[in-house]
Amino acid sequence: MVDCVEVRVTAGTREEADQISSTVVERRLAACAQVVAPIVSTYWWRGEIHQANEWLLLMKTTADRFGELAGCVRALHSYEVPEIVAVPVAVGTADYLRWITRETSPEPGE
């Protein structure tokens, strides 16, 4: 079975989150992408604590496609150091995991 992952990315605006989501799905780097309503992030940046409203993207893909997806996100993202982390999908229904694999194949239907 192919290893599937959920990739998490935060974006500073809804427009940026939508652009990233649409692009990675169109390029088949993710089978789907969900934009979660604004969240509040608290973090260290350049020696200071910051707090910001952000939009969380949840993207489903395969471990094999992570590098390409991360590169695409970096190219589109406005942050100097965007959050791009993959969390392994430990368990999922067989049909859903097959769907992720099929839809992220460079050649649809493979």
In tens, the pLDDT along 82-106 reads 999 999 999 999 999 999 999 999 8
* Residue whose structure tokens are 């910001």: 52
CA distance 64 to 58: 17
List beta partners, residue 54: 39
pLDDT at 1 over 90: no
CA distance 5 to 92: 11
CA distances (Å), 104 to each of 23, 36, 37, 41, 100, in order? 13, 21, 25, 30, 6
- At 7 the pLDDT is 98
Query: Which listed CATH number (3.30.70.120, 3.40.50.150, 3.40.50.300, 3.40.250.10) goes with 4-103?
Result: 3.30.70.120
- How many CB atoms sit inside 10 A of residue 86's CB? 19
